Homo-oligomer: A and B are copies of this chain.
């Protein structure tokens, strides 16, 4: 039960990226980044029925990208920045790795150059 309510990091990332792999769900996240909205406010610009919108919302909530709260008859949705940050962080770490590698490659080529060596590498 704990495992179900608290998925581990890789599962979380699976769900986050999966949730973002759809243009309607990204449009909802875009809208919610600008402020909270009701389900019908989210559905309207997408020309989508309420049940269809709620299905997309369920995926966003499962991925913890969106949280919602019902007050009276209106369910208000909010973005959860922490979930997007996890995805951002994963990409940032990859960027750090390849930039580090390019730096090393650059230093190596410079060293070869300073030694007066010729190199035929094309990258």
- A-side residues, CB < 8 A to B, are 10, 13-18, 20-23, 26, 29-30, 33-35, 79, 81, 84-85, 87-88, 90-92, 94-95, 97-98, 101
Among B15, B26, B79, B85, point to the contact of A90 (Cβ < 8 A).
B26
A92 contacts across to B, CB distance below 8 A: 88
Count copies of this chain in the complex: 2
Q: What distance in Å separates the Cβ of A62 from its nearest Cβ neighbour in chain B?
A: 13
Q: Whole-angstrom distance between the alpha carbons of A34 and B103 in the complex?
A: 12
The answer to whether A35 and B101 have CB atoms under 8 Å apart is yes
12 A-B residue contacts at CB 8 Å?
Answer: A10-B26, A13-B23, A17-B17, A17-B20, A18-B21, A30-B97, A33-B98, A33-B101, A34-B101, A79-B94, A79-B98, A91-B91
A29 contacts across to B, CB distance below 8 A: 94
A34 contacts across to B, CB distance below 8 A: 97-98, 101
Q: What distance in Å separates the Cβ of A98 from its nearest Cβ neighbour in chain B?
A: 5
